[in-house]
């Protein structure tokens, strides 16, 4: 889940903005990590973690990406730790045990306040450098979250139409001043010809925990910021139903393997919660 | 006591081994599935992760309430 805005930086460079964000992170007590990709995008990651909290996915983390645009404007994207796979294999190692970040979505929600604070910092920084506040416009993602598939099959979605492709985020944003195409115009997933792997190609960690925040069930339950007992029970029923469907589709040997995997997942969660 | 000292290197190593074991099981399992099975299992594992996250959220909220 991310939050993005186009900034007229009034001549302040992306490098300067990234430097100020690094300083802001340090002032907030975060560790910070910067990198630049071959396309000139600057990644600044702020991370406040310790081993226990990182296992539970509750570490505070905020990643900021500066993508230079035409006419001196900059696309500023904020997101949680799920962006690790976009930063590159070197940076992925910065996160401890990605498959255990089952609650990364919780952390992302809890840190949502950081987004506004950081945007405010950027505006104030530009003001301090230029004497003017920047003009800002919200970047429109290609499709609203409600149109995302209910399973991580989105990994198999073809790239967004080239005319809208800003070459970066997998969902992408329409260029400033343009609306994204209607969701109905999106190409259909190609999962019939290619299975989505359960493993991230760069980190080689499984995708399930990192996919939580993108799941409709999670987003719906977290709309009010609280998980109530009805929502919990509903999810338990859904998982039980899916497990039964899965078992019905498997042969005996596969059922045994599934049981072993589910047990290992439970063991891992228990260990992480100790 | 600093929270960062709670988990010993031995505990971290144990978790790492558990992760490796789980990922190896998943890799073996994944290769033996046909497409409909794969889609169904993907949904199961991801919704299960959602359930775990929900439980953690409830627990976290309760702990904050007690604090």
What pLDDT was estimated at residue A241? 93
User: Residue A233 falls within a domain, yes or no?
Assistant: no
What pLDDT was estimated at residue A178? 64
> Which residues neighbour A156 within 8 Å (Cβ) at sequence distance 6 or greater?
A189, A190, A191, A194, A195, A196
Residue-range definition of the domain harbouring residue A190: 2-227
Q: Do B7 and A100 touch (CB under 8 A)?
A: no
Provide the 8-state DSSP code for A191: T
What pLDDT was estimated at residue A248? 94
What pLDDT was estimated at residue A87? 33
User: Residue A15 falls within a domain, yes or no?
Assistant: yes
From A157's Cα to the closest Cα of chain B, the distance in A is 14
Contact (Cβ atoms closer than 8 angstroms) between residue A174 and residue A142: yes
> H/E element holding B17?
helix B9-31
Phi, psi of A145, deg, nearest 5? -55, -30
What pLDDT was estimated at residue A245? 92
> H/E element holding A14?
helix A14-27
Q: Do A212 and B37 touch (CB under 8 A)?
A: no
Q: How far apart are CA A96 and CA A209, in angstroms?
A: 13
Looking at the partner chain, which of B12, B39, B54 has a beta carbon nearest the beta carbon of A227? B54
- Predicted confidence band of residue A238 (pLDDT cuts 50, 70, 90): very high
Q: Is the pLDDT of residue A80 over 80?
A: no
Residue-range domain boundaries for chain B: 9-66
- List pLDDT tens digits, range A129-154: 888 888 888 877 654 333 433 333 33
Q: How far apart are CA A86 and CA A88, in angstroms?
A: 6
Contact (Cβ atoms closer than 8 angstroms) between residue A208 and residue A200: no
Q: Is the pLDDT of residue A24 over 50?
A: yes
User: Residue A270 falls within a domain, yes or no?
Assistant: no
Specify the number of domains making up chain A.
1
Partners of A63 in the beta sheet?
Answer: A45, A79
What pLDDT was estimated at residue A60? 57
Query: Which ranges in chain A belong to alpha helices (H)?
Result: 14-27, 51-56, 84-87, 89-92, 104-110, 112-130, 216-221, 229-249, 252-273
Contact (Cβ atoms closer than 8 angstroms) between residue A249 and residue B36: yes
How buried is B64 (Cβ within 10 angstroms: 0-12 exposed, 13-18 middle, 19+ buried)?
exposed
> Which residues neighbour A253 within 8 Å (Cβ) at sequence distance 6 or greater?
none
User: Residue A256 falls within a domain, yes or no?
Assistant: no
- What does the pLDDT average to over A13-32? 87
> What residue of A is the nearest CA neighbor of B52?
A102
Please tell me the pTM assigned to this model. Answer: 0.46
Instruction: Show residues of chain A in contact with B47, CB under 8 Å.
Output: 215, 217, 235, 238-239, 242
> H/E element holding A260?
helix A252-273
What mean pLDDT value characterizes chain A? Answer: 68
- What does the pLDDT average to over A228-242? 93
- What does the pLDDT average to over A34-54? 69
Here the tokens at position B57 are 């959220």
What pLDDT was estimated at residue A68? 82
Q: How far apart are CA A119 and CA A129, in angstroms?
A: 16
Q: Is the pLDDT of residue A190 over 70?
A: no
- Predicted confidence band of residue A179 (pLDDT cuts 50, 70, 90): low
Q: How far apart are CA A173 and CA A179, in angstroms?
A: 9
* Strand ranges, E, within A92-139: 136-138
Q: How far apart are CA A247 and CA A138, in angstroms?
A: 45
- Confirm or reject contact between A208 and chain B (CB < 8 A): yes
- A:B CB pairs within 8 Å: 169
Q: Is the pLDDT of residue A54 over 90?
A: no
Q: Is the pLDDT of residue B44 over 70?
A: yes
Partners of A67 in the beta sheet?
Answer: A75
Q: How far apart are CA A91 and CA A30, in angstroms?
A: 16
From B1's Cα to the closest Cα of chain A, the distance in A is 13
- What does the pLDDT average to over B3-28? 71
Contact (Cβ atoms closer than 8 angstroms) between residue A203 and residue A89: yes
* Interface-testing mutation among B56, B61, B63, B67, with chain A (most A C-beta atoms within 10 A): B56
Q: Do A264 and B40 touch (CB under 8 A)?
A: no
Percent of chain A with pLDDT over 90: 15
């Amino acid at each position: 889940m991310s939050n993005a805005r186009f900034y007229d930086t009034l001549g302040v460079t992306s490098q300067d903005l990234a430097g100020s964000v690094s300083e802001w992170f340090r002032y907030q007590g975060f560790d910070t990590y910067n990198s630049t990709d071959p396309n000139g995008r600057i990644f600044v990651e702020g991370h406040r973690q310790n081993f226990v909290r990182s296992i539970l996915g509750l570490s505070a983390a905020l990643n900021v990406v500066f993508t230079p645009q035409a006419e001196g404007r900059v696309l500023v994207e904020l997101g949680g730790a799920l962006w690790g796979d976009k930063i590159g294999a070197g940076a992925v190692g910065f996160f401890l045990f990605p498959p255990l970040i089952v609650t990364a979505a919780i952390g992302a929600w809890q840190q949502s306040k950081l987004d506004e604070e950081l945007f405010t910092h950027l505006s104030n920084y530009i003001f301090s450098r230029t004497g003017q506040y920047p003009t800002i416009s919200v970047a429109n993602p290609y499709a609203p979250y409600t149109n995302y598939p209910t399973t991580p099959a989105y990994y198999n979605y073809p790239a967004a139409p080239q005319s809208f492709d800003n070459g970066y985020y997998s969902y992408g944003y329409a260029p400033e001043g343009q609306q994204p195409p209607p969701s109905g115009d999106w190409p259909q997933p190609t999962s019939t010809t290619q299975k989505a792997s359960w493993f991230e190609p760069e980190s080689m960690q499984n995708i399930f925990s990192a996919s939580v925040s993108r799941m409709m069930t999670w987003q719906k339950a977290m709309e009010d910021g609280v998980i109530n007992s009805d929502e919990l029970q509903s999810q338990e029923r859904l998982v039980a139903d899916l497990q039964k469907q899965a078992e019905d589709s498997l042969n005996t040997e596969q059922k045994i393997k599934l049981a072993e995997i589910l047990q290992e997942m439970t063991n891992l969660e228990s260990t992480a919660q100790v | 006591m600093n929270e960062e000292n709670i988990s010993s290197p031995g505990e971290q190593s144990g978790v790492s081994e558990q992760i490796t074991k789980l990922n190896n099981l998943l890799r073996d399992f994944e290769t033996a599935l046909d497409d409909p099975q794969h889609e169904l299992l993907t949904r199961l594992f991801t919704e299960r992760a959602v359930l775990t996250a929900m439980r953690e959220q409830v627990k976290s909220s309760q702990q904050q309430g007690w604090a």
